[in-house]
Each structure stands twice: as C-alpha cells, then as structure tokens.
Structure 1
Amino acid sequence: MLEQTTEQRSVMLVLHDVAPETWPDYQPFVEAVDQLGNVPMTWLVVPDFHQRNALERSPTFCRLLDWRLQQGDELALHGYYHADLGPTPRTPRDFFMRRIYTHEGEFYALEQAQALQRLQAGLQLFNSQGWPVAGFVAPAWLMSEGTRQALRQLPLRYTSTPQHLYRLPEFTAIDAPGLVWSARSAWRRGLSRALCNSQLQRWQSAPTLRLGLHPVDMRHRSSRDYWLQTLKTLIEQGREPLTKSAWLDRQVAA
C-alpha cells in the first residue's frame, strides 16, 4: 500500500468519455470551472468514441486538447471505442455485466492480445498528437485479466477503479475514493445526490477525493450544479485540486 507524503488534502476532477461529440455537453461546465481559478482537470479521452468520433478527423477538437495540456490539465487514455463490440455473452454473469450493467465495458472480456492491440493503438494516437500519457482508465472501470496483463507490458504509470488508483506495472493499490452519479433519469439523479452526500460525510477526512463526471451529468441542471458546488466546497475546505498524475507523484511507498 502507498501513502501520501504530505498531510495536504486534495481533490481530483476527472472528465470521463471525452470526445468531439461530448464536448458541447462539457463546455459550459469547463468554462465555469475555469472561472474558479487554477483547477487542473484530468480528461479521459476516447480515441474513437462509439466508432463515430475518430479524433484524427477532428483537428479542431485536438487543438482544444493541446491547449488544455498547456493550461496544466492531463489527458489519459479511456478505452479505444468505449463500446463493447465483443461476441454475445454466454453466461448469466457476463450477460448482466455486458448488457444490463453497461453496454460500454469495452475491456471487460478482451483476451490479452486483443487488449494489448487496442491499448497500443490508443497510445500510438496519443503519440501522433504529441500528447503525454501516464494513465489508462477502462470504460465503466471494467478490466479483464487479459487487460491487466497487457497493461503490465506498457509504459503507463497508473490505472484506476472507482475507489483506487493502481501504480503500474505492479498494480500497487492506493486509496483514492471516488464520487460518481447515475444521471440518466430523475430517480437516479435523486438517489445519486443522496449517496454522494453520504459518501462526502464518510470520507470527510480522506486524504483525497475523486469527482468522476460523465457527459450525461452535464445535460441536467441538478447534476451539473451539484458537481460545480461540490468542487467549490471541497476547495473552500482546503482541498488542493490536482490531476491524477500530479497526485500520484506525491505518493511514496510506505
């Protein structure tokens, strides 16, 4: 297990599913965050979101990401297609995970060679754009054992799940609790608010907190305002905003 080198508490603002088609959802929120001052963000970038958003065909959006890097933000690899394109699930568990829980668990069932090929393609894209990349986050945080083996072969520093960051290639776990909403319906948004408020109380003294935002959150005023107000409150309480990479740099082996 790893621990922080300092008692300074922090918060990480993480934008999931970043792609040309999701930028209009995020843009007003990002502009509002920029008004708060120096709040670096981690952008989880999908190279070809749902096979209809290839970044190579969106030079304007790529220039935006270039500019965000210059402002101190971080870009991380977030799958390749962010869509589960594999064969029909054969077991009840796999059917639940891949058709009910989510249709976007791209790396949930991949064999090692498949995962490695897709990860390398993503890293090649980042390299072609001149974007440094330290982290990979699997869509829906779902990773097969083959994906884990593939990650051990690549020059990446971290991956993550909802409650941990993992230093690669050893997969050393670091506590980093995360908040996330399910905002697709009114009852889900109500439940998410209650759950996140409870988690905020429970994790009040946690060294760091992650705010995991999704494009659908930005389409509803209640969830969008919740994230902005929560970020403001955590900063006012003394938490320092950091990217994932910057936070990882502050961790040392116990």
Structure 2
Amino acid sequence: MSSTKRLLASIHDVGPRFEAEVEHLADLLESRLGKGHFAMLVVPDHWGAAPLREDRAFQSRLRAWSERGIEMFVHGWFHRDTVQHSGAASFKARHLTAGEGEFLGLDEATALRLMREGKALVEDVIGREVAGFIAPAWLYGEGSLSALRQSGFALAEDHWKVWNASDQRVLARGPVITWASRSMARTASSLAFAVLARTVLPHTLDTVRIAVHPGDVTKPSILSSIDSTLSRFARSHRPARYTELT
C-alpha cells in the first residue's frame, strides 16, 4: 500500500431519523477501515422532521462518534429542495436527485445563514470544529458557492472534487463511488460502476472517495458491493481523513 494514496470514506444523511442505519454503516466501515477512519455528514433537521437540536440522545451518540476520531461535516440543513428551478438547475434537480438538492437554488443570504447555523449547532454538539460542509446531493448553486467562501468552513466536496472552501484550491479530483437504492435501474447502474471502479481506480487515482447512505442498508446487493469496494481499496489506499488534504 502506498502511503501517498488515500481512501476517504463517508456516511451521508447522519441524524436522528436514520440512527439505526447509520450505526449499521459505521460498523461496516470500521470493520474494513479501522476505528475513526471515515467521516459523517450531519443533517441538522432532515426534511424538517428530525431536529438534531431536540434529540439529546442522538447528540450524545454523535459526540461519542466524534470522540472516536470520526470527522464531522455539516450536510445542508433540511436536505430537502423546495426551490422551483429553471434551465440547467432544473435538469440537475430532476435527474441528479429526488428532491434532495437543498443548496442548488438557494440565494446567497439564505445559504450563508443555514451554513453558519449548521456549523454552530454541530460544533456545539460535538465540542470541536467540523471538518467542512458538503451540500446535499453534492449540488451547489451560485448563491451557495458564494456563501461557502464566507462561511468559515475549511473543506467542501462535490461529486468530482474536494476543495478549500475559502480560497477554492482543489485538493483532490475524481468521482465519488456511491450507490443508489431508490430504483432497480439506478441500483444496477451503481453496482456496475462500483465493479468498474474497483478495477480501474486503484491504478489511476491517488485519492479515492467512497460515500454510503442510509438507504443502502435496505438492499443486500448494495451492502455486499460496499463491503467488496472498501476491502479492495483498503489494500491499495491508506484509510485517511479529509483534513489530511489541507
């Protein structure tokens, strides 16, 4: 294994709504990558139905995960997209996510307020600084990108890269390996891409990113693919932390 090759893994949509699913995924990642060698993306109030601020038990769980060395990112606020889009944004909202691209159409002021409130909330819960901000569905509009530069976050990520949130320096490039559970066709496509990634990316990318979601635990085929993918890249890439990129 080359010390210069990194494997960055993350669990998305972390919050009270998906506690059991997150626990399952955390156990899987830790079994392959070791203690604390992955990140969690925290949603402060998933779809307005699971407020982290009001759930003391989950706050304690989140703080315990953080104390185990798991990096924490703020992952939007509601995760749900309520904006009416047009043009290219409308295509992204319809085809790249199922109503989950919350930060795709927000204006700068709204995006900045939610980013700062999310940062303050999660940092208060875990008792330390968060690693950065990652928009739901990896989708950012111009207002969100402008807000991000002012937000005080260190890192940001989309589907194709990781960058410094304040000065926009790109720190790593390459697609995220992820899975889709919401339809048979999307599941089949994501499983096929994972096979291709396990074949090609170990030899072509110094930094590999793997992202899992709560819905993944509903399909044994996806869980098996995640396990195979983690195992394969853990042999060629060192399980690492996002903050090592800075």
Query: TM-score scaled by structure 2?
Result: 0.90
Q: Distance in 1 between matches of 2:207 and 2:96?
A: 27
Q: Is the 8 A contact 2:76 2:135 kept in 1?
A: yes
Partner of 1:233: 232
Partner of 2:16: 20
Q: Distance in 1 between matches of 2:36 and 2:239?
A: 6
Q: 1:24 to 1:167 in 2, by over 3 A?
A: same
Q: 1:133 to 1:108 in 2, by over 3 A?
A: same
Partner of 2:46: 49
- Among 105, 110, 113, which residue is 2:109 paired with? 113
Q: Is the 8 A contact 1:33 1:39 kept in 2?
A: no
Q: Distance in 1 between matches of 2:55 and 2:216?
A: 24
Total equivalences in the alignment = 240
Q: Distance in 1 between matches of 2:31 and 2:201?
A: 27
Partner of 1:173: 170
Q: Distance in 1 between matches of 2:180 and 2:28?
A: 22
- Among 242, 248, 252, which residue is 2:245 paired with? 248
Q: Distance in 1 between matches of 2:58 and 2:180?
A: 26
Q: Is the 8 A contact 2:89 2:104 kept in 1?
A: no
Partner of 1:8: 4
Q: List gaps (5 residues or longer) in structure 1.
A: 1-5, 250-254
Q: How does 1:1-254 map to 2 (within 5 A)?
A: 7-36=3-32, 37-86=34-83, 88-89=84-85, 91-102=86-97, 103-129=99-125, 130-177=127-174, 178-205=176-203, 206-235=205-234, 237-245=235-243, 247-249=244-246
- Give the letter for the 2:223 counterpart: R
Range that drifts further, 96-105 or 213-222: 96-105
Partner of 1:252: none
Q: 1:154 to 1:99 in 2, by over 3 A?
A: same
Q: Is the 8 A contact 2:198 2:233 kept in 1?
A: no
| Cα drift, residue 72 of structure 1 | 0.8
Q: Distance in 1 between matches of 2:225 and 2:233?
A: 12
Q: Distance in 1 between matches of 2:236 and 2:190?
A: 24
Q: Distance in 1 between matches of 2:152 and 2:177?
A: 28
Provide, for residues 14-33 of structure 1, a one-character-per-residue CA deviation record: whole Å limited to 9, x for no partner: 11111111121222232233
Percentage of pairs with the same residue: 27
Q: Is the 8 A contact 2:25 2:214 kept in 1?
A: no
| Cα drift, residue 229 of structure 1 | 2.2
Query: TM-score scaled by structure 1?
Result: 0.87
Instruction: Please give the secondary structure, in 1, of the residue aligned with 2:162.
Output: strand
Instruction: Please give the secondary structure, in 1, of the residue aligned with 2:122.
Output: helix
- Give the letter for the 1:81 counterpart: F
User: Structure 1: which 4+ aligned runs deviate by more than 6 Å?
Assistant: none
Q: Distance in 1 between matches of 2:136 and 2:30?
A: 26
Task: Looking at secondary structure, tell me which structure has more helix per residue.
Answer: 2
Instruction: Please give the secondary structure, in 1, of the residue aligned with 2:150.
Output: coil
Q: Is the 8 A contact 2:134 2:157 kept in 1?
A: yes
Provide, for residues 126-154 of structure 1, a one-character-per-residue CA deviation record: whole Å limited to 9, x for no partner: 23322421210011111111111111112
Q: Distance in 1 between matches of 2:152 and 2:183?
A: 39
Instruction: Please give the secondary structure, in 2, of the residue aligned with 1:8.
Output: strand
| Cα drift, residue 114 of structure 1 | 1.1
